[in-house]
Structure 1
Amino acid sequence: MVGKLQTMKVTRIIIGIVIVAILIAAAVFVHRDKSKIHDLPEILKAGRISVVTDSSSVGFSIKDDSIFGFQYELIKAFADTLGVELVVSEHNDMKTCVDGLLKGDYDIIASFMPVTTEWKSDVLFTNPFFTSRQVLVQQDIKDSAQTFINKISDLANKTICIPENSPFKMRIEHLSDEIAMPIKISEVKGKSPEQLISMVSSGRIKYTICDEQFVTKIKMQYPNLDVSLPIGFEQHQAWAVHTKSTKLLSELNDFLTDFVGSTAYWKIYRKYY
């Protein structure tokens, strides 16, 4: 009987030790996970800020030995004011960008995001850069051999191509509900909105969507395209940071308030629009 009690006692001790070890390991994991989220003091201490943007002329592009992009130049100006190194990653998949931000892989999503309830619980948005709505991109061929979309209801049973996990997807789904007819969505992996616009111009796909902000540029670059049909209401467009990066958000908003609209800003803007 005594031996049995001793065995039970030892077993309880072992179980207790195992539980404590698991709790310690979990605490260490949580601490490490949280430590990946860098607010402004950690960024300044490390001397480096990591951002993610889309691969396009308004995001981030490399040609020959030159790096360019509207949002790249803006975030580079911000990094310079902080005196830190800028580390840039490219992703056209917005879900990948948000997931990376939540894990601490990136400090800022420096890619224009519509300020919607879809993301508001996951990220903190900067002050908006501008308001814009979505427009349909299609070839400007109005003859019997081509299905030209004149009004929203004409989109019934048509297929619109968008980047994978694009914020445009929700708008198309709502549009389908509004016209009470299905609108098919084709999510194209690894393609930016600009690349899909080029594919419409060349005839590889029929329809895609872009922000109205880029319409003038698109018409200059692709004169065979029509972008006259709006399919959404105006939305604020902004960058995003982690919900724990409140000091970074404040510093970034202060920078944008001073920089956007300045002579330096308009010099950059005129290069891309």
Structure 2
Amino acid sequence: MNHTVRNGMIASVTILAGLGLTQCSNRTDTANVSKATSVEAIQNDGDLIVLTLEGPTTYRGTRDGPVGYEAELVQQFADTLGVTPKFIKMNSIDELLKAMEKGRGHIAAAGLTITEMRGSRLTFGPAYKEVSEIVVCGPGVIAPKTAEDLLDVDLTILASSSYQETLETLRIDYPQLEWSTQNAGSAMPIIRRVETGAIDCTVADSHLAEYARRLFPDLKVSMSLTKPRPLGWVYNEKINGMDQALAGWFIEAHASGYLAELDESWFGHLDEFDYIEVLRFVERVNERLPEFRTYFETAASETEFDWHLLAAQAYQESHWDPDARSPTGVRGLMMLTNRTASEVGVTNRLDPAQSVKGGAEYLQRIYDRLPEDITGKDRTWFALAAYNIGLGHVYDARKLAVRQGLDPSSWDDIERMLPLLTRAKYYQTVKHGYARGYEPVRYVERIRDYYGMLRANVPV
């Protein structure tokens, strides 16, 4: 995140949070959460107790710490307070909501839809994202297109979810509508049952449904049950200043573009769905990835990148074929040229361990050479583009961005400029000349897609 934006968030939250009265106990178990009577007390104690649910778009505990959209959002909020988030995983939505009613957490961050029924029980902070409720069906099912069609399918949904409220409303007009429920942290375990044919259909939030299709490409996303509805965190209203702290932080997070950046990072790659490509990718995750995973993990420990990203890049380069060769002479898992291999000490480009180590080191060198004003995830996308097309052409695209009044440090703007390098009126005016500018754009898009699929569905 941009340091100016981050400091602005810290200032806003610090001003709003300075309303505390007592100091919280140093213990972090939920039994003592009630002792925190103010945001200032939480800051003095140092721990923010966060109740959550496990799911690919929410939270997952790993050896390297929490992973997930909600986890990243919480971490940023906690950073502005100067505290450490302590995630406590609940087993079901009902358990989480009841725990918050009893004051067992400071906040609950679990991708919860703000509904009228929940609002009568608990207090929500500002909305930060909108999702629709989508019917997801198995490959052998005639997918429902209308509410009446739901009468003909075997439907199982997440217990205590907003989906249950939606179906209960539909039942007023369709009294024969029936469904079963299952306790879980998200709809994903039920989606897995749908994919195996154990049940016909389920309901999931739109972003989770799209994630699931990357794991199970034969799933059918058939219809929306609702218009987009807001997600929000539940907070403990007995904590003085928490409402103001959340309001101030989310206002700044919206205004600074942080929320848009986070959405783009986690969900931007879901816009396109290529059934054949996803099916092939899923097969190779099972058949090829296990042989090379250790190499990616080792290389990740020595660079800025996590192993999922390096594996995604290698898939884009070679489809995890260690013997891959191209007509231009690049070879191996990371498709290194002779020159690049020599620069990073690779003596055998067809050796998977050497190829991954060398490719990761080369990507890191590019990353380190980029201008300091390229930050966050954008810095990674710039580095990947330069890996594909060369740093010189990326710098040329930055120059074109400046000429057109765009941000030369924004990947969104640079991916618009790179294709211009195929046109003489543009490439003749920059230092490095012609480039196949569409290729790095597609290269980064695909890596982001593979990265999202791996990060969501392959355990760390």
Task: Give the alignment's TM-score, normalised by structure 1.
Answer: 0.77
Tell whether 2:173 aligns with 1:174. no
Tell whether 2:262 aligns with 1:231. no
Question: 1:176, 1:182 within 8 Å by CA — same for their partners in 2?
Answer: yes
Higher relative contact order (CA 8 A, sep 6+): 1
Question: 1:92, 1:163 within 8 Å by CA — same for their partners in 2?
Answer: no
Match for residue 242 of structure 1? 236
Match for residue 41 of structure 2? 42
State the distance in 2 between where 1:74 and 1:252 align. Answer: 12
State the distance in 1 between where 2:32 and 2:262 align. Answer: 37
Counterpart amino acid of residue 78 in structure 2: A
Match for residue 252 of structure 2? 258
Counterpart amino acid of residue 111 in structure 2: F
For residue 139 of structure 1, report the CA deviation from its aligned partner.
Answer: 1.9
What is the CA RMSD across the aligned residues, in angstroms? 2.5
Match for residue 6 of structure 1? none
Paired residues for 1:178-193 under 5 Å: 178-184=173-179, 186-193=180-187
Question: 2:154, 2:199 within 8 Å by CA — same for their partners in 1?
Answer: no
For residue 264 of structure 1, report the CA deviation from its aligned partner.
Answer: 4.9
Question: 1:157, 1:181 within 8 Å by CA — same for their partners in 2?
Answer: no
Count, aligned residues = 237
State the distance in 2 between where 1:267 and 1:235 align. Answer: 20
The Cα offsets for residues 95-116 of structure 1, whole Å up to 9 and x where unpaired, read as 2112211222101011122222
Question: 2:194, 2:201 within 8 Å by CA — same for their partners in 1?
Answer: yes
Match for residue 207 of structure 2? 213
Question: 2:137, 2:194 within 8 Å by CA — same for their partners in 1?
Answer: yes
Match for residue 148 of structure 2? 153
Counterpart amino acid of residue 175 in structure 2: A
State the distance in 2 between where 1:35 and 1:111 align. Answer: 21
Counterpart amino acid of residue 170 in structure 1: E
State the distance in 2 between where 1:65 and 1:243 align. Answer: 32
State the distance in 2 between where 1:104 and 1:37 align. Answer: 10
Unmatched segments (≥5 aa) in structure 2: 1-30, 268-460
Counterpart amino acid of residue 186 in structure 2: S
The Cα offsets for residues 206-262 of structure 1, whole Å up to 9 and x where unpaired, read as 211111233433333322111131122332211111232351121122112222464
Match for residue 71 of structure 2? 72
Unmatched segments (≥5 aa) in structure 1: 1-31
More strand by share: 1
State the distance in 1 between where 2:195 and 2:240 align. Answer: 42
For residue 94 of structure 1, report the CA deviation from its aligned partner.
Answer: 1.9
Question: 2:143, 2:222 within 8 Å by CA — same for their partners in 1?
Answer: no
Question: 2:99, 2:105 within 8 Å by CA — same for their partners in 1?
Answer: yes
* Stretches (4+) displaced over 6 A: none
State the distance in 2 between where 1:157 and 1:245 align. Answer: 48
Task: Give the alignment's TM-score, normalised by structure 2.
Answer: 0.47
State the distance in 1 between where 2:238 and 2:45 align. Answer: 17
Instruction: Calculate percent identity across the aligned residue pairs.
Output: 20
Match for residue 157 of structure 2? 162
Match for residue 129 of structure 1? 128
State the distance in 1 between where 2:111 and 2:46 align. Answer: 25
Match for residue 23 of structure 1? none
